[in-house]
Amino acid sequence: MSKKENTITPPPDTMEKEYSTLNLGPTHPATHGIFQNVLKMDGEIIHDSLPTLGYIHRAFEKLAERRPYAQITTLTDRLNYCSSPINNIGWHTAVEKLIGAEIPKRVDYLRVIIMELSRISDHIICNTIIGQDTGATTGFLYLFQWREHIYDIFESICGARLTTNICRIGGFDREWPQVTWDRIDAFLKGFPKALNEFNGLLERNKIFMDRTIKCGPISAERALANGFTGPNLRAAGVDYDVRVATPYSSYQDFDFIIPIGTNGDTYDRFTVRQEEMRQSMRIIEQAIKNLPAGAPHADIPDFFLPPKEQVYNNMEALIYHFKIVMGETDIPKGEVYHCVEGGNGELGFYLISDGGRTPFRLHFRRPCFIYYQGYAEMIKGSLLSDAIITMSSMNVIAGELDA
Amino acid sequence: MSKENLDKINERLNAEFPGGVLAAELLYDFPVFTIDHTKSHAIIQFLKEDPELDFHFLTDLTAMQTADEKQLGVIYHLHNMKKNMRVRVKTFFDINKPEVDSITNLWPSANWMERESYDFFGVRFKGHPNMVRILNVDEMDIFPLRKEYPLEDQTREDKDDKMFGR
Residue B48 near chain A (CB below 8 Å): no
Amino acid at A138: T
Among partner residues B30, B67, B144, which is closest to A337 by beta-carbon distance? Answer: B30
Distance (Å, whole) CA A325 – CA A66: 15
* C-alpha separations of A185 from A86, A115, A181, A286, A288 in Å: 21, 16, 6, 13, 10
Q: Quick one: pLDDT at residue A4?
A: 58
Distance (Å, whole) CA A109 – CA A288: 8
Count of the separate structural domains present in chain B: 1
- Asked if the model's pLDDT at residue A1 lies above 70, the reply is no
* Confidence band, pLDDT 50/70/90 cuts, at residue B52: confident
C-beta atoms surrounding A78 within 10 Å: 17
Residue B154 near chain A (CB below 8 Å): no
Under DSSP, the state recorded for A294 is S
Residues from chain A contacting residue B78 (CB–CB below 8 Å)? none
| Residue B46 resides in a domain | yes
Q: Quick one: pLDDT at residue B165?
A: 52
Q: Quick one: pLDDT at residue A308?
A: 87
| Interchain contact, A373 vs B111, CB within 8 Å | yes
Q: Quick one: pLDDT at residue B149?
A: 83
Question: What mean pLDDT do residues B77-92 have?
Answer: 91
For B120-139, letters b (16+ CB in 10 Å) and e give: bbbbebeebeeeebbbbeee
In angstroms and rounded to an integer, the radius of gyration of the C-alpha atoms of chain B is: 18
Residue B112 domain boundaries:
2-126
Q: Quick one: pLDDT at residue A295?
A: 86
The C-alpha angle A178, A113, A343, rounded to 5 degrees, equals 135
| Interchain contact, A358 vs B166, CB within 8 Å | yes
| Residue B132 resides in a domain | no
Distance (Å, whole) CA A282 – CA A243: 14
| Residue B59 resides in a domain | yes
Q: Is the pLDDT higher at B75 or at B162? A: B75
| Residue B157 resides in a domain | no
Nearest chain B Cα distance for residue A157, angstroms: 31
Residues from chain A contacting residue B120 (CB–CB below 8 Å)? 61
Closest to A82 measured CA to CA, from A300, A338, A273, A238 = A273
Judge residue A188's burial from the number of C-beta atoms within 10 Å of its C-beta, 0-12 exposed, 13-18 middle, 19 or more buried.
Answer: middle
| Residue B15 resides in a domain | yes
Which CATH number fits the domain that encloses residue B105?
A: 3.30.460.80
Distance (Å, whole) CA B18 – CA B41: 15
Q: Quick one: pLDDT at residue B166?
A: 46
Architecture in CATH for domain A60-402: Orthogonal Bundle (1.10)
Q: Quick one: pLDDT at residue A150?
A: 93
Across chain A, mean pLDDT equals 89
Model-level pTM?
A: 0.90
Does residue A201 contact residue A140 with C-beta atoms inside 8 Å?
no
Residue of B nearest to A60 (CA): B145
C-beta atoms surrounding A126 within 10 Å: 23
Q: What is the pLDDT of residues B141-154, one digit of tens each?
A: 888 888 888 876 66
At A285, is the secondary structure helix, strand, or coil?
helix
Q: What is the pLDDT of residues A95-122, one digit of tens each?
A: 999 998 889 999 999 999 999 999 999 9
